[in-house]
Structure 1
């Protein structure tokens, strides 16, 4: 049975900092009870006696769907949650959708997995045809900026990081092999999640016929399943060279403090503390560093190794997808985007058959490049302060590590500045 709950964000996320970048969970919310809590008992959103039943979720979504957006799901409870935020808050303007949803949540609609196909099917006639684009990326490569730049076009809604996909990738990475039934369920959840996201956003603005979802970087690992779920979607992969990627990751992890970075890595405190924590909190890091082609690599398995292997695994997955007919269609580099700005954005869109009016004012896109796309979030780059950019932390030691790990991996991605097939360029 579907249920509707009045909720608020758990207080630990309202303090700011790295906690806000944690993957979305339905347990991020605390029910707001209409009656006093019984002595000795606490409530969660999963208690059957919280909230009110919604006997006809299809009718409810037809009437209220414009106010709800898919947030996350729970495989143990087998429910998907959609969130309504407080009035007057435009969460699409935030750098990351899921963070704004979490912080401003007011109501939570829970739909059981068993009801999702029927709900999606019944809502098919309530929306016009939507063209989906999926923006995959390595992370730390300007993908949030690209997302905001595309959103300027009249026909395009670009949404940064709906996080339901992150939970699905964690579920997949925690398993060595998916059974055929698990695989089919994952594809069903992906299809219904995309459909319900489309439904919610089109209810808000029917004129936007192209919806681009920019994912967290690890979603590339389930891109083939997403393509099975939504074969009509157009796909972009955005990436950055390994030195730039690692430098940005290290600056973020160590809050811009080179001395903290040097101290932790010199005394291997990262091996003892940071790496185990990363592997527990983010199963995809465990997936990459403990991959059969990585786990025997003869280097210190510290924080450098975590991010280097993560980049390699993502790049290799993207390369594999470029070799498939239904895989990645367009690749784009961080440097090309920064150099060519609106020209590159428009060329990518035109390559994917998005209609750009001949009289479109491209200066609207260029204006986006004058603002930090992640400003105000915990993921904002620590390398840039005002108009100054700090020097890179990647030196000869790190570059020697690149060579060792890439050589040990022995894959198609064989150098730190590897160029992906189908990479867009402007002469």
Structure 2
């Protein structure tokens, strides 16, 4: 089945413009609700959101759709994306929904769907929902006496706080550690500081004043400048940057240097391996993870399994092959012993636990390998299929020949915006940069 609405991570777009309109959100609620109302029990769906202004519109439209097909709705309010997966399971809900565009600016929004097991829905189920959205929504609506009800779950945030705190080793505390936490003015602006403080840390908060417009604006995991400055200024031991829906994390060490998801996966994977906790014989990452990570893991006797981009695909591979650590260079870290999607705060606690046990600064603990030179550029296009043109194909072939087995080349279309991403890496930085520039130039000429 073709996919008209869903991308690599649910539905995403500019608010009040297709596919992120109230009408389409209503149809998502109707279709997904119909698909997951099977059996005689009273069905329920949980809905969480981040702090975007448009969240009110999307939440109300989804709620109307679900209620129309007889589902009871539990509104969680602003919570991280992983909290929706966790609470879908713990509340025995039939479906979970997160309203968020993750690290995007406030004008965008998105819809992510979770099954009753707490995992994001597969491509196949999303395709079925799309088909239902355009065929037969007038059928199967609930009778007047079977309409759903809606209520707010007042303790949703505190439930998540307790679940995340339980992942931190009981014998450890964060007493004496100064943490700067940047919540990106997003979904974790309350829960993340609470978790760190309750575990004993001295906290300095930034990005905790959402106003509907400032989510991810010059803050969070995609803009760590303010965090780096604050860490150095306050002489903090660590900085933690989450994104708008808190399923990503980037760490900043005490010297103000950024630690990306590849280093964090290496750290957690190595620590789990040394304690006999690592399953699957390695970790799972995407094609975008640095070749240096792969070489480091080989040196530890571990493997790196690669998937296409998207934490959902990482999770699918982890489930199919028995891994319990995976993620993305961008900071999606999936620890399946605790969560079924990326959880930035939970991953940060695992990093803090390793630092606490080693009794060493973050700069020493979190730098495990030197990344291979890697260049990533994006080219926006207006339409068509630029990757299918002869000029672009020739440039890609020439780039592969120049790398000559001493590096990697990854070219892909974004699943959330009209952009071609070109990434190359290898030991010769000059060659890598030239390859990327040549291919981007060819794509620009064809776009």
Quick check: which one's strand share is greater?
2
Quick check: which one's helix share is greater?
1
TM-score normalised to structure 1 length:
0.22
TM-score normalised to structure 2 length:
0.22
